[in-house]
Amino acid sequence: MKVESYDPRIIDQLLNTAFAFSQDLIIKSNEYARIDSRTNIQECDAKIAVSEYYETITASQNSNIANKMVSSEINSLPLPTFPNKGVSKIWLPTEYEMSITPNWSQDINHVNRMNDSETEKMNQNSDIDLGQDIDDDDDDDDDDDDLDCINN
């Protein structure tokens, strides 16, 4: 083979590759034999497995030049343009409007329509206890008294 020197690990790598390839072919051949209701592998099963292997290898390889030609044809087409104020009665916002407008809306009407049982369920699921006194500072003075003065 006219190879003067090589890494000794190459022999192990070639043996591993040959073993994996042979194992795959034997597994496929065994599947074809089982399809034909046989327990032993025949030569025709191995031929089908080898031909399937070569068909999948050659079918998956695409020419780089062909891919470049197809992509250059597709990329040469101009993109469609849209007018600034809308297309077919659909208003498209400008970049500035999209940057300052939130992409969510608060459904206040839904909150107002909720009945008492729904709000109680929401309060039970939250960590806030609404029945406690409002006292957010460290002094002994109860802040609820201050609210009573304001409300009266």
Mean residue pLDDT of the chain comes to 75
Q: Give the count of alpha carbons within 13 A of 75, CB side only.
A: 6
Three-state SS string over 31-87 comes to HHHHHCCCCCCCHHHHHHHHHHHHHHHHHHCCCHHHHHHHHHHHHCCCCCCCCCCCE
pLDDT grade for 25, boundaries at 50, 70 and 90 = very high
Whether pTM exceeds 0.85: no
More confident residue, 2 or 102: 2
User: Cα(86)–Cα(126) distance, rounded to whole angstroms?
Assistant: 44
pLDDT at 26: 95
Chain center to CA of 90: 30
**pLDDT tens-digit map of 57-114:** 765 566 788 888 888 999 898 887 766 665 566 667 778 877 787 766 666 665 566 5
